[in-house]
A and B are shown apart, each in its own frame.
Chain A
Amino acid sequence: MHFRKLCLVAMAGLMLAACEKPGSGDAGDKGASEAANPFPSTYTAYPSETILIANATVLDGIGGRIENGSVLIENGKITSVGTDLTAPEGAVTIDAAGKWVTPGIIDNHSHLGAYPSPGVDAHGDGNEISGPVTAEVWVEHSIWPQDPGFTRALAGGITSLQILPGSANLFGGRGVTLKNVPARTVQAMKFPGAPYTMKMACGENPKRVYGYGRGTTPGGAPYSRMGNVAGYRDAWIKATDYKKQLDKAKNGGGEPPKRDLELETLAGVLNGEILVHMHCYRADEMAQIMDISKEFGYKVTAFHHAVESYKIADKLAEYGACSSMWADWWGFKMEAYDGIPENIPLVHNAGACAIVHSDSDVGIQRLNQEAAKAWGDGKRIGIDVPIEIAWQWLSLNPAKSLGIDKETGSLEPGKMADVVIWSTNPFSTYAKAEKVFIDGAQMFDRDDPALQPVMDFELGHPGEGDRK
């Protein structure tokens, strides 16, 4: 709630821009050696049982729908999905008749922890607005793991999420992918092995925060969209040079260059180790960005917000970038003026990668409903996407955009048992996530207060969680 407000305020031009998603960056384990990452994941799965979820409508996340289906979880992994599974000895069987089972939802655009609740100034850690290029910052260093928003997201079936820096900067810094498990430290939430990401931003936010900072922010370039583009290119030229020196040193050509946090991250992008997640609303700007990426030899993994993706869905499909979208946000600023509720189905229909994202501590609690709205709006114009296909907007596609689709994002044998049991069809407004499993461990139960986490901040306050 608070973040959304912040965004709207930002949009009203009063403050900085914060409505972006973070990008993540360098490798946890991938790409860079463990030694190269000073903040390794310490996440380990919580204890789990052998569980057979039986008699449910199962959406496997890769396009399959199984009536009277079962999902078998062993040692924290999915081991079997089908219609006639029998429970191994000692297994706990959950009779899920009438219920639906899906992969856990993955939100690839959240600011939880970086803009936590309560949204007081002291908690505003999502934008390092000291300069337009801050590729050197890592959002994990801003995340407060005690943000109550994580628990509300869990109650909405979110099992993994990407936290991104805000969209004030051209280069906002590294994002990070988390398991949505309450923890004392951020390291204990970090998705093991997930590649880092990097957040970039197009359009109104960077040029407003810097050029037109109204005296409250640094001022200076960029003042314009052309200034934005010059800023990106200038940084990539430096990064290209830095990478050249790194490569040369690696090949025995002398000493490596002096360490530079900003250029290390940018070089990681050029190496393909760090995935670019870019806040961009307008179609014409996305097209410019795709050209810049070709100029410097990197790839934009996903455009975020992307409210005009429907205008260039063909080009996005050809390039191979995902669009990470709201169902229906529009009209709050000029570059969001052309938002339409059919954006997601139109992008999907063009064969491009569609993702439903939140950018909100409210929206993240019901991304299934956001998908349902887009699904319904598509259906009314003849884009009739089966629910089992549409679920890819919520789990598999975001997993791909984060480089974790080999590990999670669908109910396939060998994958992490990140699973949600819904009270009914999750495209219904009335559906509730009843049980949420992460790596096979049940981390949430709607009917059991003992399985409903309460963050430190909430203790001793009248709420102590959502529904006490």
Chain B
Amino acid sequence: MIRRLLLSLAALAATSVAAAQPVAIYGETVWTGTSQGTITDGVVVINNGRIVSVGPASGGVPSGATEVRAQWVTPGLISAFSRTGLSEVSGVDDSNDSVAGSSPFSAALNAADGFNPETTAIAVTRRDGFTRLAVAPNARSTLFGGQGFLADTSGLPGSVFRERVFAFVVLGERGASIAGGSRPAAWAALRGAFDDVRFFGARYMTHNDGNVLTRMDAQALMPAAKGDQLMLFQASRASDLDAIMDFKEANPSLRVAIVGADEGWMVAGRLAELDIPVIVDAFSNLPSSFSQLAATSENAKRLSEAGVTVAIVTLDNDSHLARLATQVAGNAVANGMSFDAAMEALTTAPAEIFGMTGLGVLAPGARADVVAWDGDPLEAASAPSAVYIDGDAQPLETRQTKLRDRYRTLDESERPLAYKH
């Protein structure tokens, strides 16, 4: 406890120093995510939590700047969909706050209430270059998982920087199962819930009872139903995506994004036309279910080429291995997606989907989330050498590195390894 306090104080001290002094981060390759494109031998200068300049190293840096050198420099990566920070050990229910199957509430569940910035997976995710997370609740007993939020990965109190950013709704095969066994049941529940929201005043004032939602849930779903908040649907099959698009056309004010979308390529043109972004796991290339019969490792490429905004994530072990989205994106490139589009899928696309202004880019005035890498960030063997969040250099130590260092050598001739810490 005391140790943690000291560390926090040290971090605060480091913060104030960093804030007072510019840092120049040199990269042999600097990927900006802006019209500046990729700069060879570039430098990013940060100060007071903001990016001051981005340009060729030959342009010079402010005198007295701390210099950091790396092979690659990128914006802090953004995980577009995870449950990171909601569980310490996902299979241990007591430690897992991502889902509440027995709660009387659904759409009103605020996932941010379950977030613990000290979750060890946060530091593990940060260490691989992710500085921001869009975190979603899960759904178990109704289609409505609740409210997702945005957090940074500093691991400090106050990491959550926007709550109730999106309403998470499960459709498709899983939604059908949750709703009672069929897609018609799921759509009846969704439409019924929208009615509850629409007639909120009359319905709940008179008999305090909705078709589908409790009063509190109806109230919570209202912003998304009105289009003031993003509604994030989970679905995979092309016909499910079409149904969502029909729903969007019938309710033009809705702001819609889709996670999963394994068969998205089949309806890519319409997704682009309706400006509906998708969040995909580019590893999905098997007919794992009857909703993924057209899954292909070219899904991300085809969607991107059709003009759809694409974010890339890993949907397996989404609490502890969100960091693997870089490898997933690299595989999307191997399967034809452009490198820039794959990088955008980890930066500007999630920033756009969730309205994170000043994040996901290296641009003057943007928030100083910057990552220095020892190689191409999409290469499996690469890793960050430095990570900055809002200009603060982040610790790269994790519970994993502590375990590693304890067992790096197995010599117990003097004392048990438990004394090594």
- Using CB atoms and an 8 Å cutoff, list the residues of chain A in contact with chain B: 1-2, 4-5, 8, 11-13, 117-120, 148-149, 152, 310-314, 328-334, 336-342, 346, 350, 361-362, 365-366, 369-370, 372-373, 375-377, 379-381, 427-432, 457-458, 461-463, 466-468
Instruction: List 6 additional contacts besides A11-B90, A149-B286, A338-B403; criterion CB under 8 Å.
Output: A5-B316, A118-B288, A331-B89, A332-B89, A376-B380, A463-B294
Complex: how many Å from CA A361 to CA B266? 23
Chain A min CB distance to B276 (Å): 20
**Do the beta carbons of A1 and B91 come within 8 Å of each other?**
no
| A12, A427, A463, A467 pick with most chain B CB within 10 angstroms | A463
B283, closest chain A residue (CB): A362
CB neighbours of A331 from chain B (8 A): 88-90, 120-121, 317, 319-321
Q: Is the CB of A118 within 8 A of B92?
A: no
* CB pairs A–B below 8 angstroms (5 shown): A152-B285, A313-B410, A336-B89, A365-B285, A458-B287
The answer to whether A429 touches B289 (Cβ under 8 A) is no
| B408, A461: Cβ atoms closer than 8 Å | no
Set of chain A residues within 8 Å of B382, measured between Cβ atoms: 376
Does B331 count as interface, using CB distance less than 8 angstroms? Answer: yes
* Cβ proximity bits B78-92 to A, threshold 8 Å, 1 near / 0 not: 000000000011111
Please give me the residue from chain B that is nearest to A312 by CB atom. Answer: B410
Contact of A1 among B120, B316, B317, B408 (CB under 8 A): B316
Minimal beta-carbon separation of A113 from chain B (angstroms): 13
Interface residues of B (CB under 8 A from A): 88-93, 96, 120-121, 238, 263, 266, 283-290, 292-298, 316-317, 319-321, 324, 327, 330-331, 333-335, 374, 378-383, 400-401, 403-404, 407-408, 410
CB atoms of A120 and B289 under 8 A apart: yes
Q: Give 9 nearest A-B pairs by CB, closest first.
A: A376-B381, A429-B330, A333-B91, A11-B91, A331-B320, A462-B294, A1-B288, A2-B288, A461-B293
Question: How long is the Cα–Cα vector from A464 to B120 in the complex, in angstroms?
Answer: 41
- List of A residues within 8 angstroms of B319 by Cβ: 331-332
List B contacts of A361 (CB < 8 A). 286, 288
Q: Which chain A residue lies CB-closest to B238? A: A462
A8-B90 in contact (CB<8A): yes
- Could you tell me if B320 and A330 are in contact, using CB atoms closer than 8 angstroms? yes
Task: Give the CA-CA distance A264 to B110 in the complex, in Å.
Answer: 56
CB-CB < 8 A to A152: which residues of B? Answer: 285-286
| Residues in B whose Cβ lies below 8 Å from that of A468 | 296
- Taken together as a complex, chains A and B put the C-alpha atoms of A361 and B294 apart, in Å, by 16
CB-CB < 8 A to A467: which residues of B?
Answer: 296-298, 335
The residues of B that contact A2 with a CB separation of less than 8 Å are 286, 288-289
Q: Which residue of chain A has its CB nearest to the CB of B332? A: A429
Report the Cα distance A12→B321, complex, angstroms: 16
Least Cβ distance of A354 to chain B in Å? Answer: 15
Say whether A13 contacts B288, CB under 8 Å.
no
**What chain B residues lie within 8 Å of A4 (beta carbons)?**
316
Q: Which residues of B lie under 8 Å from residue A362 when comparing CB positions?
A: 283, 286, 316
Shortest Cβ distance from residue A346 to the other chain B in the assembled complex, whole angstroms: 7
Query: Do A340 and B89 form a contact, CB below 8 Å, given A2-B289, A346-B407?
Result: no
On whether the beta carbons of B378 and A429 are closer than 8 Å, the reply is yes
Give the docked Cα–Cα distance between A5 and B284 (Å).
12
Residues of A within 8 A of B334 (CB): 429-432
- B286 adjacent to A334 (CB under 8 Å): no
The residue in chain A whose Cβ has the minimal distance to the Cβ of B318 is: A8
- The answer to whether A466 and B403 touch across the interface, beta carbons within 8 angstroms, is no
Within the assembled complex, what's the spacing in Å between the Cα atoms of A466 and B296? 5
**A-B contact number at CB 8 A:** 167
Whether the Cβ atoms of B327 and A429 lie closer than 8 Å is: yes
Please measure, in the bound complex, the distance between the C-alpha atom of A372 and the C-alpha atom of B379, giving whole angstroms.
Answer: 9
Residue of A328, A372, A461 touching B324 (CB-CB under 8 A)? A328
Nearest Cβ distance between residue A145 and chain B, in whole angstroms?
A: 16
Q: Does A332 lie within 8 Å of B317, measured CB to CB? A: yes
Whole-angstrom distance between the Cβ of B13 and the nearest chain A Cβ: 27
Given contacts A313-B410, A369-B327, A1 and B404 within 8 Å (CB-CB): no
Nearest opposing residue in chain A for B302, CB measure: A467
Complex Cα gap A430–B324 (Å): 15
Query: Known contacts A381-B404, A467-B296; is A117 also within 8 Å of B288 by CB?
Result: yes
The smallest beta-carbon distance between B149 and chain A, in angstroms, is: 21
Q: Are B381 and A373 in contact (CB under 8 A)?
A: yes
Contact of A337 among B89, B298, B317, B408 (CB under 8 A): B89
Is A119 a contact of B288 with CB atoms below 8 Å?
yes
Contacts of A350 in B (CB 8 A): 410
Residue in chain B with minimal CB distance to A2 = B288
Q: How far is the CA of A194 from the CA of B365 in the complex (A)?
A: 63
Nearest CB to that of A461 among chain B residues? B293
* Contact (A1, B381) CB under 8 Å given A329-B321, A332-B91: no
Q: Which residues of B contact A119 (CB under 8 A)?
A: 288-289
Chain A CB within 10 Å — which of B120, B121, B286, B333 has the most? Answer: B286
The distance in angstroms between the C-alpha atoms of A157 and B245, with both chains bound, is: 39
Evaluate contact between A333 and B316: CB separation under 8 angstroms. no
Tell me which residues across on chain B come within 8 A of A8, comparing CB atoms: 90-91, 316-317
Distance between Cα atoms of A330 and B120 in the complex (Å) = 11
Contacts of A149 in B (CB 8 A): 286
Residues A366 and B331 in contact, CB atoms below 8 Å apart: yes
A37 shortest CB reach to chain B, Å:
32
A312 to B93 alpha-carbon distance, docked (Å): 29
Q: What residues on A are CB-neighbors of B410 within 8 Å?
A: 311-314, 350
Minimum CB–CB distance from B217 to chain A (whole Å) comes to 24
| Distance A397 CA – B99 CA, assembled complex (angstroms) | 41
- Bound together, the chains give a CA A339 to CA B286 distance in angstroms of 27
Contact A117–B286 (Cβ < 8 Å): yes
Query: Which residue of A is nearest B320, CB measured?
Result: A331
Q: What is the CA–CA distance of A420 and B266 in the complex, to the nearest angstrom?
A: 32
Contact between chains at A430 and B381 (CB < 8 Å): no
Which among B89, B121, B296 is the interface contact of A333 at CB below 8 angstroms?
Answer: B89
**CB-CB under 8 A for A1 and B284, given A332-B320, A366-B331:** yes
Contacts of B286 in A (CB 8 A): 1-2, 117, 148-149, 152, 361-362
Contacts of A1 in B (CB 8 A): 283-284, 286, 288, 292, 316
B residues less than 8 Å from A329 (CB atoms): 317, 321
Contacts of A431 in B (CB 8 A): 334
Give the nearest-CB partner of A12 in chain B.
B91
Q: How far is the CB of B120 from chain A (nearest CB, A)?
A: 8
Name the B residues within 8 Å of A148 (CB-CB): 286-287
The interface residues of chain B lying within 8 Å CB-to-CB of A430 are: 330, 333-334, 378-379
Q: How far is the CA of A221 from the CA of B202 in the complex (A)?
A: 57
Whether the Cβ atoms of B297 and A375 lie closer than 8 Å is no
Chain A residues near B383: list those with CB within 8 A: 376-377, 380
Chain B nearest Cβ from A328, distance in angstroms: 7
